[in-house]
Structure 1
């Protein structure tokens, strides 16, 4: 008689629940080990302090999640999330200027991180093969340098420990993962770590959206220009569920956003364009200011180890974390879960499967890592390896491409396909795109944010921004 197969997933966040939903199709039972307790509603968890800040799920990630858990997008929307088209639904100022709002084929999902996670978690745990064990933490891996056979866990209430045997262990325990130390304890060499740290700090506050803008409003985003010899400061406004705006401010080393309520709006007005500050100047605050510094770009190159044990996969923030301003983390998690599914479908949990999957996870990580670190290292006093000559040349090409995207719809479409992780980054080098980039922009840059007259009226009751002319771009 065949012995039942079992997978243990460490972490009940987005990465863990997606991994559990995948694993349930290839093993008999799945146990999810979660250090925290989940509340009945979509409330923040102590183990995910960054969840209070702005999170974007790009279409590349949303489509993958939909393929893993059909019906997820509809559930998000019914719960109050917004599906916002790109670039028509976003008012975004990049380092190269305002992006025009042409019709597009990409989109993003905006809502609180807690709502987004709770919908996925509910679907994943609805599978009868999957069991959640809350308030339980993993202590160490069981097995050897060649094969992981399970995990030792501890109940945080009783203090009791238990050994769980598993054919597959997936570490999706996030930034606090101890996978590197556990692997060393099994006799494997230390995995190489790379860190790029711009010293970024975040501050977030939730506002009630004006009545006219409660149901629909674009994402508004003012990014920093890393070429300027001063700290990079940004402001982002996201429409989220229940008629609210979530506003996140950020600043790199030497220019952090305020952590007090008194100066929040002033900082938003003081970035490269004051549009976010003006939009929230008269809005009703619904929360205090939440601050965070969990923004370092950090990557562990597990795929480079000379040997990898059978039965172990590491993914999500346990492999790589990124500056949240680029919004890639959740989409990378989705693609990593897809890599897990493809690997299990091809090789099961047999010899070589875990190493194959770990390398596929690394490929899913690479595009977002290149974007985040390539930009962040340019800020004053950033810490990390400097770009070589080839990387610097690539960066100059991307800068010209982004300037061109503000003027040519075909280039904007290619840029968004890559940036939303809907297509490979090599699409930016396609002959048609490269030729248009070399030609450069053919329209003058927009001088003001491309808010429509209707959006401006609904958000401000028709009152022009303080200190401005009211001549916002139509």
Structure 2
């Protein structure tokens, strides 16, 4: 009998068809016979809004660490994005940013990059490339009810079809990618699995976003970002202008507990006047608002420590279902992508049905999330009114070192490179402790702090224009 006759089809069931779910499917498809994605809503075949993704209305930065991981999983995705109007923005020179340590200079060579686009476009590009694989099937309009199996092994999930009927879907591996609202810990508890511990750090961040028609601007328009400073004894307020497809700006503002923005359209721009710099308010005065303000308050950092429990074989959680992050740091998509890549790499080494595979995979996909947690949640606990564990002496000392790095980065390429590599998730936090970086931090800034943002003549011209100028769409203003 041939080896093929002994082959047993391996089936993966992915719960959730969002970004994390589609990337998990891309990771596992080469290592199984079929992947079924169960999605509660209908997924559009165009880059348009969909139900179940309210955060799509807010600014999303896809850092190079995430974009590279996606490209390795689904080659050609970047070309789909840029062909549809997404922007590849060079870092650090393509970002005008006021950090807690001052304005960053823009005279450096490219260190990393980010992809700037609406979330609907990013998801569409990933979904389009994934569904070219005949192994992958999406079951839309279907709700997951519970997991099947025992505390030793998960064997599938019970689902409710659009017509109200229920069905048991069997699988060798079930991946929970249902996001922040995941019910997996309850489903597992019902099967006798021990309680999964959680860590929550909540700075009370409220997010508000609005789209604008951009004024006539240079083609290589930068991301503009004013950050909050956790050292100040006041609520942190921040804002970002993200240039996206369709000659639009996606503008998100955020405030920690006690300084939250509201959904009032008249007060949206006023909030930007309360930032540490008036730059974003000045630019919004030149742009035309498009549509209402969208507000989100579900922004707490939450880690479900599946790795600390004796988990059953055949189940793992990925993306926000495992670790959800404060979106102000822009790491959610990149963490999901790097987690999926880690899952793919492990599946290339071990059979996905092998005992212990899921537990090893859970640890592997947790490493990128842990790195992003350190960058975001460990800063959030320093804001006034933050809820969760209180900052320790080690936290405060680390915060002081990071601030010194940020201040030094305003005039030192060595530190700029290290911080950018870590922020984009291309390197771990250990890069901040390399000898050259430690020496630069000890030496401190090499140049005086900039008195204002490092703008090009074209960017200054837009800022200083007497009123709105949106009649020219994406026509470029020559750079000098």
TM-score, normalization: structure 1? 0.95
**Following TM superposition, by how much is the alpha carbon of 1:282 offset from its aligned partner in structure 2, in angstroms?**
2.9
Instruction: State yes or no: 1:119 paired with 2:125.
Output: yes
CA distance in 1, matches of 2:463, 2:390: 42
Counterpart of 1:136 (choices 126, 130, 142) is: 142
Distance 2:396 2:254 in 1: 25
SS of 1:337's partner is helix
Give yes or no for the alignment of 1:257 onto 2:261: yes
Alignment partner of 1:154 is 2:160: yes
Q: Give the deviation of 1:44 after TM superposition.
A: 2.1
- List aligned pairs for 1:200-349, cutoff 5 A: 200-213=205-218, 215-305=219-309, 307-349=310-352
Shift of 1:160: 0.7
Residues 258-300 of structure 1: CA deviation (Å, up to 9, x unaligned): 3111111111122110111110113111111111112111111
Q: CA deviation at 1:387?
A: 2.3
Maintained 8 Å contact 2:207/2:254: yes
Task: Name whichever of 40-49 and 274-283 sits farther off.
Answer: 40-49
Which residue of 1 is the match for residue 471 of structure 2?
A: none
> 1:207-242 deviations in whole A, cap 9, x for unaligned?
0111234x4310000011111111111111000001
1:463 deviates by 7.8
Indicate conservation of the 8 Å contact 2:235/2:383, yes or no.
Answer: yes
5+ unaligned residues in a row in structure 1: which ranges? Answer: 465-473
8 A Cα contact 1:237 1:246, kept in partner: yes
Deviates more, 1:327-336 or 1:339-348: 339-348
CA distance in 2 between counterparts of 1:388 and 1:212 reads 46
Question: Does the residue aligned with 1:114 lie in a helix, a strand or coil?
Answer: helix
After superposition, the C-alpha distances for 1:431-474 in whole angstroms (9 at most, x for unaligned) are: 0111111111111111111111122224554889xxxxxxxxx9
What is the TM-score of this pair, normalised by structure 2?
0.94
**Alignment length (residue pairs):** 462
What is the alpha-carbon distance in structure 1 between the residues aligned to residue 75 and residue 367 of structure 2? 24
Runs of 4+ in 1 over 3 A off after TM superposition: 458-464
- Residues 1:11 and 2:16 are matched in the alignment: yes
2:203 equivalent to 1:198: yes
Q: CA deviation at 1:67?
A: 0.7
1:375 paired residue number: 379
Please give the alpha-carbon distance, in whole angstroms, between the structure 2 residues aligned to 1:392 and 1:254.
22
Matched, 1:62 2:63: no
Partner of 2:477: none
Q: Does 1:167 align with 2:172?
A: yes
Distance 2:102 2:56 in 1: 29
2:418 counterpart residue number: 414
Other structure's SS at 1:142 match: strand
Superposed CA RMSD in Å reads: 1.5
For residue 46 of structure 1, the aligned residue among 45, 51, 65 is 51
